[in-house]
Structure 1
C-alpha cells in the first residue's frame, strides 16, 4: 500500500444506506488507495462533498494488517471492511455498514452470495458472518458483553448520562458490540422525541475509546408473540445523530433485555428513525451468546469524484 494519500479526483464511488444509515463506498481490491482523515471528512461532508455517515473501503483482507491477522483463523474472510466515521476517524465496524458493504460487493461483481448462503467479512471487530435473506441480510455480530465490571451494574446501570432536552442526569448501561455503546432507558416516547442529539451527550464514566449513546423506550406491552419491541435514537461518536445504528440497535436490545430479567425474549424489533431492524440473541459456536442483526441494504448512486471537492 502506498504511504501517500491517494488523489481523490477521478475515483469512482457508490452511495448506499441501511435503514437511513448512509455510506460512501469505494472498491480498492489491491489496497493501493490510502485516504487521509481529511479526505474522508471532505467526501462525507453533506454540503461540500458526497455526504455520508461514514466511508467504507472494500479491500482484500491480505492487504490490511488487521485483515491479514484474521486470515489464519478465517481463510474465507477474503474481503475487509475498512470503515471510517464521517469526521475521518477510524471505527471498529458498523452493523448497518456490514450489510451495505456486502450488497456493494455483490453489485460490483466482486462476490456471489445466493439467498441462504453465508459470507465471512473481516472487520476491526473481528470476522462477521453475513447471510442473504428475503428482505436483505442477516449479520452474526458476534458476542456482546458489558464494558464495565459486574459490580458497577448491580442496579442495572453502570454510568450516567446528560443530554440536551432531557431533564436530569440519567442512569445508563455500557455495552460492547465490538465497538462501545452506552444505553439510556427512557420512560416514554415524549422523552425520546424531546431529547436533542445535536451536541454529544456527556457520559460518566466514559469508556476508554469514547462511546455511542442510545436512548431507548420499551413498548407497552414490551413483548408480543415472543418478540420484544423498543424504539431508539442514537448519537454516534465521530458522526452525530444518525437515522440508524446497527450495533446500537443490538446494544439497546441487550440492555433492555438485561433489565427485563429472566424470561425476556430472544427476538427483538428495534424501531429507529430510518426504519426497523431485527435483533436476535442465540448461542454462538464459541459457547458465548451472540447477537444477529437483520435488515435491508440499498444502493442509490454511483459516480466519479470531481476535482472541485477541495475547492
Structure 2
C-alpha cells in the first residue's frame, strides 16, 4: 500500500508549523481562516489542499486569509473601487485553486474579523470587503450577516430567451437535464428536479458534466421548488450543490443566490418578499434590491459560526 500521499501532506503541514487558524462555518459550508494583515504568509495551493483534507489535515471546504487590501494587487484594485474596503478576502477552494467569491465564506470572514477585534460592526452597520469578484457590502443582521452580492447575470445571454436551449447537465440521472448558467461573480449552473427522492438520491461525489461549460468551470446546483412555490410572500426551495474544486458541500451562498435567480426565471418572474433556501447545513435567505446604478442586486442573509481556534503543529 502506497503512503506517498500521506507523506506529502505531512510535509506540507510541517511547512506551516506554528500557523494560527480559526475554524468556522456558514450553514455547514466550512472554512479555515487565517489572519495575515501584512500579506506575509503565502500559503501555496498544495498547502491549502493539505490543510483542507478531511482525513489528513484540518478539514474544510476552503481556506480564507484576512489580508489588508493595500498589501496585494487585487486588494489595491478594489480600493480604487471603494476606499473603505480595508480588508480583502483571499479565498481558496479546498483543492487549493483560487475562487472569486463565496457567499457563506464572506459572512464567516466578517464574523472572524469582528471576533478578532480587527473591525467593529454593530447591528445594522455595514462593512465593505474586497474580493476577487469586487467589493461586497456586508450588514450585521438579526440572522447573522446580510451580504449585498452585487448584480447577477446569465453566463450565456441567449438563455434569457425562454425559447432558447439551456445547457445540458449529466449527473448520473436517467437522462441529462437542462440547466441555466448564472454568474454571481463566480459561475453556477442550476438544474431543477421534480421530486424530493430525486434530489435526495443524487450522487454528487463526482462532478456533473455540463455542456456547454462556462469558461472557468462551474458549480452545479440541483433545486427542488416548494409546492406552492410562494406562501405568504415567501418563496421556498431545497438545494444540493457540487462546488468546483471541492465536491458536494453542505451549503453554497452564491449557489443559493443563483438557484433563486434561476427558479424565479423559470416561474416567469414570480414575486416574493424573500426566498428561503434550505440546504443540508441549514437555511439561508435570498432577496433582491435595486441599486443606485439601476441594476438588480441579490442579497444573501444567514448565520456565521466560529467553532475552534488552534495552531498547526
Which residue is 1:265 aligned to? 272
Q: Which residue is 1:253 aligned to?
A: 260
Q: Does 1:69 align with 2:63?
A: no
1:204 maps to 2:205:
no
What is the CA–CA distance in structure 2 between the aligned matches of 1:266 and 1:244, rounded to whole Å?
Answer: 22
Unaligned runs of 5+ residues in structure 2 are: 1-12
Pair 1:230-2:258 in alignment: no
Question: CA-to-partner distance for each residue in 1:111-166, whole Å, 9 max, x for gaps?
Answer: 000000000000000000000012200000000000002267433752000012x2
- SS of alignment partner, residue 100 of structure 1: helix
Stretches of structure 1 that go unaligned for 5 or more consecutive residues are 307-311
Quote the residue 2:286 is aligned against: 279
* In the alignment, structure 1 residue 191 sits paired with structure 2 residue 198: yes
Separation in structure 2 between the aligned mates of residue 151 and residue 230 of structure 1, nearest angstrom? 21
- Contact 1:6–1:35 at 8 Å: present in 2 too? no
* Residues 6 and 34 in structure 1, CA contact (< 8 A), matched pair in contact too: no
| Structure 1, 13-22 or 284-293: larger mean CA deviation | 284-293
Q: Which residue number in structure 2 is paired with residue 309 of structure 1?
A: none
Contact 2:18 2:312 in 1 (8 A): yes
Deviates more, 1:59-68 or 1:11-20: 59-68
- In the alignment, the residues of structure 2 paired with residue 300 and residue 151 of structure 1 have an alpha-carbon distance, to the nearest angstrom, of 41
Equivalent residue for 1:159?
167
Alignment of 1:19-168 (within 5 A): 19-150=27-158, 153-155=161-163, 158-164=166-172, 166-168=173-175
Residues in 1 aligned to 2:57 and 2:114: alpha-carbon distance in whole angstroms: 25
Structure 1-normalised TM-score?
0.94
Q: Is the Cα contact below 8 Å between 1:266 and 1:282 reproduced in 2?
A: no
Count of residues paired in the alignment: 301
Instruction: Give 1:6 shift.
Output: 11
Aligned to 2:7: none
Equivalent residues of 1:153, 1:173 under 8 A apart? no
Alpha-carbon contact 1:140-1:292 (below 8 Å) kept: yes
Q: Is the Cα–Cα contact under 8 Å of residues 157 and 173 in structure 1 kept in the other structure?
A: no
Q: Report the CA distance shift for 1:267/1:156 in structure 2 as closer, same or farther (over 3 A).
A: farther
The superposition leaves residues 180-202 of structure 1 with CA deviations (integer Å, 9 ceiling, x where unpaired) of 00000111111101110000000
* Counterpart Cα distance in 2 of 1:53 and 1:17: 9
Aligned-residue CA RMSD (Å): 1.4
Q: Which residue of 1 aligns with 2:182?
A: 175
Closer/same/farther in 2, CA of residues 130 and 240 from structure 1, 3 Å limit: same
